[in-house]
Amino acid sequence: MYKKFLLSISLFVVLLAIAGFRIIDTPVSNPTPSPTLASTLAPPPTATLPPTATSLPTVAPTPTPQSGINHVVIISIDGMRPDALDQADTPTMDKLRARGAYCPHAQTVKTSETLPGHASMLTGMLEDKHGILWGLPYIGWPGMKGPSLFSEAHDAGFSTAMVFGKEKLNYLALPNSVDKLFGEDVHDTEVKDHALEFIQAGLPNVLFIHFPDTDRVGHAYGWMSSNQLYAVNYADAMIGEIIATLDNGGYLNNTLLIISADHGGHDHSHGDDTPLDRTIPWLAVGPGVPQGLSLTGHIDIYDTAATALYALELPIPEKWDGKPVLEIFQ
């Protein structure tokens, strides 16, 4: 019986050998998968979790000026408060407000006088930096300190011009910074005429136009008097002629226009650090400027120069206090 069992086992082993089976206990190597299969079966890479919103806030991209802005025209209506635009008949500026971006609560410098205000408007700096600390220079005054919008633009190869109706604004023109200049004690009409001459001869890259009569009438008859509101209406008509000339010359499509003031006023005066004297309008119209936009951010008078340089894609001096009004470049 036992022999039969051994014989059966022997036959079974022989049959297995014939069939090709191994009964030796040796390790069997795993087949190497093909590259395609390997990549299919490979575990996915470990995902890196992004930081939470609280640890890394989203930063909005900085707006850039619309390409094609080759000119900046800055118009200052001396002594115009923003509420004058609501009470006076100003059809030109009403249309410009609808076509551009407007701020009725911009601020001039604490020394709310003509020279310090305009100096800050055109240098991008506060009074202690540009050196004009009051309405008139004193004996021995060394002159306005730069750099200014005009010196920066001129040094970069841009053409510049200034037209103003108060002779004392000549102090704002740094040496070798202005190609064309008219500055005398004249009325708004004469300012407009000289501005039109400059435009028709070929619009400079940077042009400053100053209308003086709203301030003069305010001193004579009072701020927000009917006479001053008429002066605002008259300045609006002068601006209308300037806009028409820019349009006829084909300049509106590549020009940033900024309209503002150097200070406000109360009773028959100004110069105080008060809302009536310091609050000024600020209006921008041009390529890429959103139409009918109410500007909500804080705007200082010295932001005007920085905005002009930014629109022309020129660097802003580090010593300047002004920053470009980026809302108008959205």
**pLDDT tens figures, 161-170:** 999 999 999 9
Q: Which residues pair with 255 in a beta bridge?
A: 71
pLDDT higher at 183 or 141: 183
The pLDDT score that the predictor gives to residue 264 is 99
Tokens of 325: 């009004």
The pLDDT score that the predictor gives to residue 170 is 95
Q: 253 — phi, psi (to 5°)?
A: -75, -10
The pLDDT score that the predictor gives to residue 141 is 73
The pLDDT score that the predictor gives to residue 21 is 35
pLDDT tens track for 271-281: 999 999 999 99
Cite the DSSP H helix spans in the chain: 2-19, 35-41, 82-87, 91-99, 114-123, 127-130, 149-155, 188-200, 213-221, 226-248, 275-278, 303-311
Q: 180 — phi, psi (to 5°)?
A: -130, 140
Helix H or strand E segment including 183: strand 180-183
Q: How many Å from the N-terminal Cα to the C-terminal Cα in the chain?
A: 103
Q: What is the pTM of this model?
A: 0.81
The pLDDT score that the predictor gives to residue 63 is 60
CA gap 194, 163 in Å, rounded: 7
pLDDT of residue 27 exceeding 90: no
- What rounded mean pLDDT belongs to the chain? 85
pLDDT of residue 244 exceeding 80: yes
pLDDT higher at 34 or 219: 219
pLDDT tens track for 124-156: 999 999 999 887 766 667 789 999 999 999 999
The pLDDT score that the predictor gives to residue 198 is 99
The pLDDT score that the predictor gives to residue 134 is 82
Query: What value does the mean pLDDT take over residues 45-70?
Result: 50
Closest listed residue to residue 108, CA positions, set 328, 318, 311, 281: 281
Q: Does residue 275 come out as left (phi exceeding 0), alpha (psi in the -120 to 50 range) or beta?
A: alpha
CB 211 within 8 A of CB 191: yes
CA gap 175, 28 in Å, rounded: 93
pLDDT of residue 315 exceeding 50: yes
The pLDDT score that the predictor gives to residue 47 is 36
Percent above pLDDT 90 for the chain: 76
The pLDDT score that the predictor gives to residue 272 is 97
The full set of domains in the chain, from first to last, is 71-329 (3.40.720.10)
Measured from the Cβ of residue 47, the count of other Cβ atoms closer than 10 Å reads 6
pLDDT tens track for 101-131: 999 999 999 999 999 999 999 999 999 999 9
pLDDT of residue 207 exceeding 50: yes
CB 166 within 8 A of CB 210: yes
